[in-house]
Amino acid sequence: MQAKIEAAVTVLQSGGTVAFPTETVYGLGVDASNPLAVRQIFKIKGRPADHPLIVHIENAGQLDKWARDIPDQAYLLAETFWPGALTLILQRQPHVPNEITGGQDTVGLRSPDHPVAAALLHAFGSGIAAPSANRFGRISPTTAHHVRDELGQQVGLILDGGACRIGLESTILSLAYGEPVLLRPGGIAVEALEATLKIKLSFAQNKNSAAQQKIRTSGMMATHYAPVTPMELHSAEHIVQRVQHLTALKYKVVVLTLGRKISGIEQSIRQHAMPAQAEQFGHDLYAALHSLDQEGYDYLLLESPPTTRVWLAVNDRLQRAAHSVQK
Ligand code: TXA
Ligand code: MG
């Protein structure tokens, strides 16, 4: 792997792109100090230029290289959760390229917890800007194979570090405008952040404060993280009816259940059991959607998970993925 890391550093230094594993999902990285390199990311992903990128750094010691006016809360969180699946939004240093921040006055920073990502950041010696390594609006990759399938030749080099341990994107917390605001639930539980900060956090989508209106997160768009195959979310009872309806119309459907098989569905209909436990479900979700997307179904019918807080990140991704067919 060391030779591959060195090759990856050479690609980054020459302004190229490197896909690399993190504990959440695979990232598509470039030198965060090189605006021309950063622009390539938007081209490869088909992502609008005003959607900001996360800068990945080796450790909290580099926070002040990218951010300024850093509140104590940021250091406390970094100390507690880094390296890990937490992205902090902070006021940016003036030199941070507009290409990264989407022209905003803030920057997202995260120190990833994966040996390959850590080795790459260490060897490169500076920040790596990286969104998830998928096309805009699609499911994030959780294996090198997913990256190759979706972006293939367009990426300078792909580092294969196996399947991602968490499988859902990082939790994003803004500390840029005073009161901490949760922008995206993810790999670090909201309860854990609350316990550390000793405050109650609210999810930005539910609120309407001035600070939140200044914040733009592409993950906050209604349709995002979607498989190609139309996906619907229903209760188990409703799935039974929906299967009858769709199969009568000759559609090919697959049912994703929460652990147990749903009774009352014809034997010939495939039921794919997802884990009934939130963390495990989150870990398997993108991999399951990636693989079912290849199998030519007309509809993916998912049994809705519980709405308790441990399912927050999963439900957030499911609602966006299902949005287009739920209207
Ligand atoms: O787990 C993750 O966070 C992965 C791995 C590769 O680190 N990265 C990831 O990046 O999910 P991306 O670009 O797919 O999603 C990052 C989200 C976007 O929705 C972006 O709008 C938001 O973070 N973001 C980045 N910088 C921001 C900023 N300054 N203010 C508000 N939102 C920001
Ligand atoms: Mg993404």
Ligand that comes closest to the CA of residue 184: 1
* 193 and 236 together in one domain: no
What phi and psi values does residue 208 have, to the nearest 5 degrees? -140, 25
In terms of DSSP H, where are the helices of 46-175?
A: 63-66, 72-81, 98-101, 115-124, 144-151
Which residue's CA lies nearest to atom 21 of ligand 1? 217
In b/e form, how buried is each residue of 74-110, taking b as 16+ CB within 10 angstroms?
A: beebbeebbbbbbbbbbbbeeebbebbbbebebbbbb
Domain boundary among 156, 186, 213: 213
Query: How confident is the model over 22-69, as pLDDT tens digits?
Result: 999 999 999 999 999 999 999 999 999 989 999 999 999 999 999 999
* 96 and 126 together in one domain: yes
Ligand 2 ion: residues within 5 Å (CB): 132
**Integer angstrom CA distances of residue 134 from 99, 220, 246, 283:** 18, 17, 30, 17
* 40 and 141 together in one domain: yes
* 59 and 206 together in one domain: yes
The answer to whether residue 148 sits within a structural domain is yes
Contact 30, 15 (CB under 8 A): yes
The Cα 219–Cα 101 span in angstroms is 15
CATH value at residue 181: 3.90.870.10
User: Ligand 1: which atom is nearest the Cα of residue 220?
Assistant: 19
* 209 and 236 together in one domain: no
* 107 and 188 together in one domain: yes
CATH value at residue 257: 3.40.50.11030
* 10 and 157 together in one domain: yes
Find the 248 Cα to ligand 1 centroid distance in Å: 42
Quote the tokens at residue 139.
């499911």
User: What is the number of structural domains in the chain?
Assistant: 2
pLDDT score at 228: 83
Find the 246 Cα to ligand 1 centroid distance in Å: 37
For the segment 218-246, the average pLDDT, to the nearest whole number, is 83
Which is more confidently placed, 214 or 311? 311
On the question of pLDDT at 216 being above 80, the answer is no
On the question of pLDDT at 219 being above 90, the answer is no
The answer to whether residue 225 sits within a structural domain is no
Query: How confident is the model over 272-285, as pLDDT tens digits?
Result: 999 999 999 999 99
Nearest to 299 by CA among 254, 269, 268: 254
The Cα 290–Cα 294 span in angstroms is 7
pLDDT-above-90 percentage for the chain: 87
Any residues with Cβ below 6 Å from ligand 1, and which?
22, 24-25, 27, 51-54, 87, 89, 101, 104, 106-108, 110, 112, 130-132, 169-170, 172, 183, 215-219
* pLDDT, mean over the chain: 93
Strand order in the sheet with 231-234: 231-234, 299-303, 253-258, 270-274
* Segment 294-297 long-range contacts (CB within 8 Å, at least 24 positions apart): 295/254, 296/252, 297/229, 297/252, 297/253, 297/254
Find the 244 Cα to ligand 1 centroid distance in Å: 40
Contact 164, 26 (CB under 8 A): yes
On the question of pLDDT at 213 being above 60, the answer is no
The Cα 44–Cα 7 span in angstroms is 21
The answer to whether residue 164 sits within a structural domain is yes
* 167 and 272 together in one domain: no
On the question of pLDDT at 324 being above 60, the answer is no
pLDDT tier for residue 220 given thresholds of 50, 70 and 90: low
Find the 146 Cα to ligand 2 centroid distance in Å: 14
**Hunting for tokens 């404060």 — which residue is that?**
209
* 189 and 240 together in one domain: no
pLDDT tier for residue 203 given thresholds of 50, 70 and 90: confident
Query: What range does the domain containing 251 cover?
Result: 231-325
The answer to whether residue 221 sits within a structural domain is no
The answer to whether residue 219 sits within a structural domain is no
To test ligand 1's pocket by mutation, which of 114, 121, 169, 182 has the most ligand atoms within 8 angstroms of CB? 169
* 139 and 271 together in one domain: no
Domain boundary among 181, 213, 245: 213
* 187 and 253 together in one domain: no
pLDDT score at 222: 52
Find the 54 Cα to ligand 1 centroid distance in Å: 5
The answer to whether residue 222 sits within a structural domain is no
* 92 and 24 together in one domain: yes
Which residue's CA lies nearest to atom 10 of ligand 1? 131
105 DSSP assignment: S
The answer to whether residue 309 sits within a structural domain is yes
Find the 131 Cα to ligand 1 centroid distance in Å: 6
User: Ligand 1: which atom is nearest the Cα of residue 106?
Assistant: 29
CA dihedral angle for residue 114, residue 117, residue 118, residue 123, rounded to 10 degrees: 160
Quote the tokens at residue 262.
């749903």
- How many C-beta atoms lie closer than 10 Å to residue 222's C-beta? 11
On the question of pLDDT at 325 being above 50, the answer is no
The answer to whether residue 7 sits within a structural domain is yes
Which residue's CA lies nearest to atom 22 of ligand 1? 217
pLDDT tier for residue 226 given thresholds of 50, 70 and 90: confident
Radius of gyration of the chain measured on its C-alpha atoms: 20
For the segment 133-162, the average pLDDT, to the nearest whole number, is 96
Find the 312 Cα to ligand 1 centroid distance in Å: 17
On the question of pLDDT at 208 being above 60, the answer is no
Question: In this predicted structure, which of 111-115, 158-162, 189-193, 321-325 has the lowest mean pLDDT?
Answer: 321-325
For the segment 76-89, the average pLDDT, to the nearest whole number, is 98
- How many C-beta atoms lie closer than 10 Å to residue 208's C-beta? 8
The Cα 163–Cα 248 span in angstroms is 38
Domain boundary among 213, 240, 262: 213
pLDDT-above-70 percentage for the chain: 92
